[in-house]
Structure 1
Amino acid sequence: MRILQVITLCDLGGAQSVVVNLANSLVKEHEVIVAAGAGDGKMWLSLHPSVICEHIPSLRRALSLLNEIKTIRAMRKLYKKYHPDIIHLHSSKAGLLGRIAFPSAKIVYTVHGFDSIRIAHRKYLFLEKMLQFRCRTIIGVSKYDEDNLCNEGINNNVCFVYNGISQPLRLPESPFNKMRSYSKIILCIARLSPQKNVDLFLKVSELLPQYAFVWIGNQHEFRGQYSENVFFMGSLPNAGAYNEYADLFILPSNYEGLPMTIIEAMAFGKPVVASKVGGISEIVLDDENGYTVENSAKAFREKICYILENKDVYTRFSKNALKSYQEKLTVDNMIDGYLRIYNGIVD
Structure 2
Amino acid sequence: MRILQLITRSDLGGAQSVVVNLANKLCEEHEVIVVAGEGDGKMWELLDLSVKREEFSFLRRALSPINDIRTLFRLVCLYWKYRPDIVHLHSSKVGILGRIAFPESKIVYTVHGFDSIRIAYRRYLPLERILQGRCKAIVGVSKYDGRNLQEEGIQRNVRVVYNGISAPCGLGHDPFTGMKGYARKVLCIARLSPPKKIDLFLEVATRLPRYAFIWIGNQYEYTQGYPSNVFFMGSLPNAGAYNEYADLFMLSSNYEGLPMTIIEAMSFGKPVVASNVGGISEIVVNGENGYTVENVPDIFAEKIEYILENDDIYNHFSRNALERFKKDLTVDKMTVEYLKIYKAGTLH
- Is TM (by shorter chain) over 0.5? yes
User: How far did residue 180 of structure 1 move?
Assistant: 2.5
CA offsets per residue over residues 296-331 of structure 1, 9 Å max, x none? 001101100110111100000000000010000000
Distance in 1 of aligned mates of 2:33 and 2:222: 36
Q: Amino acid of the residue matched to residue 106 of structure 2?
A: K
In structure 1, what is the Cα distance between the partners aligned to 2:310 and 2:50?
48
Aligned residue in 2 for 1:251: 251
Alignment partner, residue 334 of structure 1? 334
Cα deviation digits, residues 41-78 of structure 1 (max 9, x gap): 11111111111101111100111000110000000000
Query: In 1, Cα distance between the equivalents of 2:223 and 2:78?
Result: 42
Contact 1:213 1:230 in 2 (8 A): yes
Contact 1:106 1:345 in 2 (8 A): no
1:333 shift after superposition = 0.5
Equivalent residue letter for 2:14: G
Offset from partner CA, 1:234-290 (integer Å, 9 cap, x none): 111110010000000000000000000000000000000000000000000000000
Query: 1:46 corresponds to which letter in structure 2?
Result: L
In the TM superposition, what are the counterparts of 1:144-293 in structure 2 within 5 Å?
Answer: 144-293=144-293
**What is the aligned residue count?**
347
**Residue in 2 that maps onto 1:317:** 317
How many angstroms apart in 1 are the aligned matches of 2:166 and 2:141? Answer: 17
* Equivalent position of 2:61 in the other structure: 61
Tell me the residue number matched to 1:37. Answer: 37
Residues 1:6 and 2:15 aligned together: no
For structure 1, which segment, 25-34 or 218-227, has the greater mean C-alpha deviation from structure 2 after superposition? 218-227
What does 1:106-125 align with in structure 2 at a 5 Å threshold? 106-125=106-125
Q: Is the 8 A contact 2:192 2:219 kept in 1?
A: no
What is the rounded CA distance, in whole Å, between the counterparts of 1:125 and 1:183 in structure 2? 47
- Rate the CA distance shift 1:328–1:280 in 2: closer, same or farther, 3 A: same
Question: Partner amino acid for 1:266?
Answer: M
Deviates more, 1:193-202 or 1:337-346: 337-346
Distance 1:149 1:206 in 2: 38
Q: Deviations over 1:171-190 (max 9, x none)?
A: 11111111120000000000
Identity %: 67
Q: Give, in angstroms, the shift of residue 219 of structure 1.
A: 2.8
C-alpha contact 1:186 1:212 (8 A) present in aligned 2: yes
Rounded to whole Å, the distance in 1 between the matches of 2:255 and 2:106 is 30
Code of the aligned partner of 1:164: G
Per-residue deviation at 1:346?
A: 4.2
Distance 1:163 1:177 in 2: 32
1:20 counterpart = 2:11: no
CA deviation map 1:103-160 (0-9, x unaligned): 1111000000000000011111111011001111000000000000000000000011
Are 2:301 and 1:301 aligned? yes
- Does 1:127 find its partner at 2:107? no
CA contact (8 A) 1:221 1:233 kept: no
Give the alignment's TM-score, normalised by structure 1: 0.99
Partner secondary structure for residue 178 of structure 1: coil
Q: Which amino acid aligns with 2:176?
A: F
CA–CA distance in structure 1, aligned partners of residues 62 and 214 of structure 2: 31
Shift of 1:345: 3.6
Cα RMSD for the two superposed structures:
0.7
Q: For residue 292 of structure 2, what is the amino acid of its counterpart? A: T
Letter in 2 for 1:6: L
- Give 5+ residue unaligned stretches, structure 1: none
Q: What amino acid is aligned across from residue 238 of structure 2 in structure 1? A: N
1:127 maps to amino acid: L
Counterpart secondary structure, 2:35: strand
- Comparing 171-180 with 64-73, greater Cα deviation is found at 171-180
Aligned partner letter, 2:8: T
Distance 1:105 1:342 in 2: 10
Amino acid at match of 1:47: L
1:275–1:295 CA contact under 8 A, matched in 2: yes
- Residue 81 of structure 1 is matched in structure 2 by 81
Equivalence for 1:142: 142
**Amino acid aligned to 1:159:** R
C-alpha distance in 1 between matches for 2:71 and 2:32: 20
Q: Distance in 1 between matches of 2:10 and 2:173?
A: 30
Alpha carbons of structure 1 residues 41 and 4: separation in structure 2 relative to 1, 3 Å = same
